Structures are given as C-alpha cells and as structure tokens.
C-alpha cells in the first residue's frame, strides 16, 4: 500500500501506507506499506485485482484482508485486517498539490 488517506476505511482498519520514498523510472513512490495478498481468502495479485474484488462489495460491508507487514528487520509478518468498507471517493487528494 503506497498511501492511506486519513479518515478512510483503510486508515480506520489500521492499514499501513508506505513511509519511505524512493525514485523509479515513473517518478517517486512511497514503499514499506502493507502488501495486500488476499481479500476474504481470494488471492490478490495487484491493485487492479484488489479494486475489482472491492467493487463487488457495498459500503458498510466488512471484508478480511490478509496483508504482509514489514517487521523492521528486513522481513514481513502475516496479518489479518478486518475492514468495514466506506464509499469510494470521487477523487483522492494529492499530497504534492497545494490543496492536498
């Protein structure tokens, strides 16, 4: 998870966003956040699959996410996070913009 916006369902559930910035050929990204590996037991192989899986649910429904969380020692811990879904925002604030 690159970032988690304050007040969102992900933030309320304790999902961790990245805390370390790095440069890629496509620009700067945050790394070190939770890696979502499944939703309700169904394996997730990327952000598109995650979005598709979440889109089959309605706001207010609860899902269980299996995540890999950095343990600070170069490895990961397996965690299960229960998320009560919220409404998807029309847009996501950009922390690089004056309004964000």
**Closest C-alpha among 15, 71, 72, 4 to residue 39:** 15
> Using CA atoms, how far apart are residues 27 and 41, in angstroms rounded to an integer?
33
What predicted TM-score, i.e. pTM, was given to this entire model? 0.68
Query: pLDDT tens across 40-49, in order?
Result: 999 999 889 9
Query: pLDDT tens across 60-99, in order?
Result: 999 999 988 888 888 889 999 998 888 776 655 555 544 4
pLDDT of 21 > 60? The answer is: yes
Contact 55, 61 (CB under 8 A): no
> Using CA atoms, how far apart are residues 67 and 70, in angstroms rounded to an integer?
10
Contact 66, 54 (CB under 8 A): no
Structural domains of the chain, with CATH: 9-84 (2.30.42.10)
Strands (DSSP E) contained in the chain are 20-24, 27-31, 35-39, 42-43, 62-70, 76-84
**Closest C-alpha among 54, 74, 49, 44 to residue 10:** 54
């Amino acid at each position: 998870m690159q970032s988690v916006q304050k007040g969102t369902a992900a933030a309320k559930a304790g999902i961790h966003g990245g805390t370390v910035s790095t440069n890629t050929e496509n620009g700067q990204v945050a790394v070190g956040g939770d890696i979502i590996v499944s939703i309700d037991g169904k394996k997730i192989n990327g952000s598109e699959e995650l979005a598709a899986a979440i889109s089959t649910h309605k706001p207010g429904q609860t899902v269980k996410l299996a995540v890999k969380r950095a343990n600070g020692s170069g490895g990961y811990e397996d965690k299960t996070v229960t998320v009560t879904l919220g409404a998807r925002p029309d847009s996501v604030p950009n922390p690089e913009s004056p309004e964000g």
